[in-house]
Chains A and B, each alone.
Chain A
Amino acid sequence: MYFKKNFNKSFNILLLRILIIFVFILVSFFIIIPLLPLFLKSFSDNKNNFIGLENFINYIQNPSLTQSFINSLKVAITTTFFSVLIGFIYAYALTRTRLPLKKFFNTFSLFSLYIPPLAVAIGLIYIFGKQGLITQGFFGTIPGFDINLYGFNGIIIGEIFYCFPQALIILVSALNLSDQRLYEAAESLKASPLRKFLTITLPNIKYGLMNSFFICFILSFTDFGVPKVVGGNFNVLATDIYKQVVGQQNFAMGATISIYLLVPSILAFLIDKNFQKNEASLISGKSIPFKPRKNLIVDSIMFIFCSLILILVIGVFSSIVLASLIKIWPYDISLSLQNFRFSNVAGNGYEPYFNTVFMSIYTAIFGTIFVFFTAYLVEKFKPLKKIRMLIYFFSTLPIAIPGLVLGLSYILFFNKPSFSVPFLDFQIFNPFSLLYGTMGILVLANIIHFFTVCFISATTTLKQIDKEFEEVSESLKVPFYKTFLRITIPLSLPTILEIGSYYFVNSMITVSAIIFLYPAKIPVSSVSIVNMDDAGDTASAAAMSTLIVLTSLFVRLIYEFTSRNVSKKSSVWINPLET
């Protein structure tokens, strides 16, 4: 008997160790190793001669660098402030108030993420550009107002559009898990609402809050999609990379700048590591989920706030729909449905659209499994601390890698038929090269490209679930995978579904990495949107974007439907008495 118990326990730990090492290998091969060849290029010139730190020094000495760097910082700080603020209020309204029409607001919460970046730019230009609806006062019917879109203002609006849903997704998962008992205790101590907010709510979500700060900061620091289109002459580091790599094919310099871009996320990781030390979990076996009470004032303020945000987002989307129907903006505004027939314009009709839908489904399924499992292994167990730290660190890197750098790195790594072993005349076949030119490489690139946000939102949720569950199961001699399947997954299901839908919508719209990787036979719609726009066919580009937005919305509705059933079930786990 004694022997068997011991055997089980050591088998359990052995299995865990193997799994952790396996995940470590995967993460290394998909994140770190592909980046190495490109980063090594930053120490050489374009003919592959080693030149040490020359690129780094050259770039620093470039007079426009300081400007780009300061500009990037300004953009990142402003965007982060507004995105987290908006994301927090919206998330709070969804989780902690009796917001009217909550289901509606929930369904549309990530709406601005559904819109392909190029379409956001088209929408912003149609609203705020020199001929925009607002700038010209709706064709001169009301006084116009020019926000000077091109430059800092445009970048900030575009980045907030892109970043606030990312803050939202993390904050919703942080605010979702809460313990009613704490609030009840506070009430019986006659604590004021403000005091409750400051002493219970905020401290409980500090981890999520801090992460959303980092995510928004790094995303807006590294994004080039928005500044490229509405940035005007406002240079940022990410557009500098674009100029080097796409404009001048100077990969070495592009790699150099992307190393500078990694600095904030490495800092973020270090701060985060120290921050985590005194972290207690929130949800224990005895927790009771929070039940918001009616509060007319708070509920109506929240309603107005969320409505304003949605009006802006839906406004931009409407102008895209409008763009797809209008003949010649802004000179001939007669409408037609012509542009939804993609066969007579660029981009292979509907084929790219269906490719994209399948690519996104695959990304959502495989990505969610991979991310959640990785986060679970890193978060829940004690063995192999150093390796788990490394996995954590690697997982926080992808967010700081601009898509275009990821795309190029993936070409360099996955298109290599074999590796040569240093100092030996010997070649090893590169098994990963089989993925190149297939749907697999696109799915993998997407999984990695959007890995960090998903990983952090999974960790945020897992952190809030008490380790007690694992400890109790261990003492009851239940193997960890049973606890995982029976407790952890059901408890985290809302977050898991959230991650899946996040992967889906992002894969539907992403361009920057995919444009380098898509194989000849698998055209994707985000690339055809770029091509249609290149060919001057704004209306068709807008039409395809509309289709993509509607698809994501449809998937979101399925998600809503499923998660409503699921969350009933997962709350049963926390509070079995309720049913």
Chain B
Amino acid sequence: MKKLFSFVMGAAVIGTALAPSANAWWWGKKGSEKASITVYTALEDDQIPNYLKSFERDYPNIEVNIVRDSTGIVTAKLLAEAENPQADVVWGLAASSLLVANDRGLIQGYAPKGLSNVKPSFRDPAKKPSWVGIDSWISAFCVNKIEAQKNGLSIPKSWADLTKPEYKGHIVMSNPASSGTGYLSVASRLQNLPSEEDGWNYLDALHENIAQYMHSGSKPCKAAGKGEYPIGVSFGYRAVKQVNMGQPIEAVFPKEGSGWDVEANALIKKDKIKPAAKTFLDWAISPEVSREYAKSFAITAVETDVPLPKGFPSNPEKQLAKNDLQWAAVNRERILAEWAKRYDGKSAAK
């Protein structure tokens, strides 16, 4: 009993010693006089510090608390917190998600300084836009050159190529029911063939070759990079990044054009909108940070003089297929239901 007692006492002493330091994050507050804003973002974690450098330099009195999660999680959080929003600003979230949030009345229209620099297709046309884009992400194929060669596959150049019998079981793609990237590929095919019916016929043929529909936008490309499957239908930034990491990947931008969505910012509607939140949104489309975006993304909302990142097609704007974001948002439920009916139940038995 004595030993036990001394153990408990020891634990208590350690506990007390740690308590003051623990207290600060138990309550999640640090005593500071800075204005502080909470920013929800789906931008990739390793890019964020670079982007934020110029903000921290110009606004040392604003503390920015970043909450970074994938698109689906950020959107779900926003909607669940509707009654008492925690975020002040959303930064770099899919415009299609912001359309949903706006639909539920969670967003306050705001025209940030420098809005006129933003290309018209990259923003909500309203005078006080509910969302303002910063860059565009486009669908692309990640083809693993080593595995393609091992399997005697030629590098596919177009959406049409993907339906060739030689690729059967070699392609993975994001599941449109769980990933925005998957949905933009599907929505783009449905909008860019002569009729929606043709679009579905195309998807039927593609389905024959798909090994797996994966639950994330980047995973097909990652799987290709590790050689799990030779071809992953994913998005451009991802493909180019993995090439630069030294993986044996070729980034293919399909001949017929890529599906695309915009990463955009928005101001969250709440009782007290902090001025710092607006400052942040002004900064987030400034030429300086846009130059940082342009180092990773081929297409940015604000035109910059940064040379095109390695690996993207030379005229990226031309690569964009016809896409009506509003149409894609309105028809999403119907398309996904049809998609699930055609491919989800069937594929399960494999």
Task: From B64-72, B129-137, B158-166, B284-292, give the one contacting chain A.
Answer: B64-72
List, in ascending order, chain A residues with CB within 8 A of B100's CB.
249
Nearest-neighbour CB distance to chain A for B212, whole angstroms, equals 5
CB closest residue in chain B, given A561: B7
Q: Is B27 an interface residue (CB 8 A)?
A: yes
Which positions 222-238 of chain B face chain A at CB distance < 8 Å? 222, 225-229, 238
Asked if residues A246 and B7 are in contact (CB atoms below 8 Å), the reply is no
Asked if residues A130 and B228 are in contact (CB atoms below 8 Å), the reply is yes
Asked if residues B80 and A516 are in contact (CB atoms below 8 Å), the reply is yes
Q: Is B332 an interface residue (CB 8 A)?
A: yes
Q: How far is it, in angstroms, between the C-alpha of A411 and the C-alpha of B84 when the chains are bound? A: 10
Asked if residues A438 and B28 are in contact (CB atoms below 8 Å), the reply is yes
Which positions 410-440 of chain A face chain B at CB distance < 8 Å? 411-412, 415-417, 433, 436-440
List, in ascending order, chain B residues with CB within 8 A of A205's CB.
none
Q: Is A232 an interface residue (CB 8 A)?
A: yes
Q: Is B25 an interface residue (CB 8 A)?
A: yes
Task: From B120-128, B253-261, B315-323, B340-348, give the one contacting chain A.
Answer: B340-348
Q: Is B185 an interface residue (CB 8 A)?
A: no
Identify which of A234, A251, A327 contacts B80 (C-beta below 8 A): A251
CB closest residue in chain B, given A250: B333
List, in ascending order, chain A residues with CB within 8 A of B305's CB.
none
List, in ascending order, chain B residues with CB within 8 A of A68's CB.
348
Nearest-neighbour CB distance to chain B for A242, whole angstroms, equals 6
Identify which of A64, A129, A327, A437 contacts B340 (C-beta below 8 A): A64
Q: How far is it, in angstroms, between the C-alpha of A569 and the C-alpha of B336 when the chains are bound? A: 62
- Known A-B contacts A233-B212, A249-B100, A534-B44; the reply to A440 vs B26 at CB < 8 A is yes
Nearest-neighbour CB distance to chain B for A548, whole angstroms, equals 18
Count residues of A near B (Cβ-Cβ below 8 Å): 71
Q: Is A346 an interface residue (CB 8 A)?
A: yes
Q: Is B349 an interface residue (CB 8 A)?
A: yes
List, in ascending order, chain A residues with CB within 8 A of B215's CB.
228-229, 239, 242-243, 247
Count residues of B near A (Cβ-Cβ below 8 Å): 71
Asked if residues B227 and A330 are in contact (CB atoms below 8 Å), the reply is yes
Nearest-neighbour CB distance to chain A for B51, whole angstroms, equals 13
List, in ascending order, chain B residues with CB within 8 A of A71's CB.
348
Q: How far is it, in angstroms, between the C-alpha of A67 and the C-alpha of B340 when the chains are bound? A: 12
Identify which of A125, A129, A347, A531 contacts B69 (C-beta below 8 A): A531
Nearest-neighbour CB distance to chain A for B330, whole angstroms, equals 14
Asked if residues B44 and A249 are in contact (CB atoms below 8 Å), the reply is no
Asked if residues B77 and A411 are in contact (CB atoms below 8 Å), the reply is yes
Task: From B108-116, B172-180, B274-282, give the one contacting chain A.
Answer: B172-180
Q: How far is it, in angstroms, between the C-alpha of A348 and the C-alpha of B344 when the chains are bound? A: 38
Task: From B54-62, B187-195, B198-206, B242-250, give the one contacting chain A.
Answer: B242-250
Interface string of A514-554 (1 = CB under 8 A from B): 01101111100001101110111110000000000000000
- Known A-B contacts A233-B347, A516-B80; the reply to A569 vs B25 at CB < 8 A is no
Q: Is A278 an interface residue (CB 8 A)?
A: no
List, in ascending order, chain B residues with CB within 8 A of A530's CB.
69-70
Asked if residues A151 and B44 are in contact (CB atoms below 8 Å), the reply is no
CB closest residue in chain B, given A433: B84
Asked if residues B80 and A537 are in contact (CB atoms below 8 Å), the reply is no
Nearest-neighbour CB distance to chain B for A542, whole angstroms, equals 13
Asked if residues A439 and B248 are in contact (CB atoms below 8 Å), the reply is no
Most interface-central of A63, A249, A355 (chain B CB within 10 A): A249
Other A-B contacts than A131-B228, A521-B28, 11 sampled, CB-CB below 8 A, are: A125-B228, A229-B215, A232-B211, A233-B212, A243-B175, A328-B246, A330-B227, A415-B80, A415-B86, A535-B46, A565-B7
Point out residues on A near B: beta carbons under 8 Å: 62-64, 67-68, 71, 125, 129-131, 150-151, 228-229, 232-235, 239, 242-243, 245-249, 251, 327-332, 345-347, 355, 358, 408, 411-412, 415-417, 433, 436-440, 515-516, 518-522, 527-528, 530-532, 534-538, 562, 565-566, 569
7 pairs across A/B with beta carbons < 8 Å? Answer: A67-B345, A131-B227, A233-B347, A247-B177, A248-B336, A519-B86, A534-B216
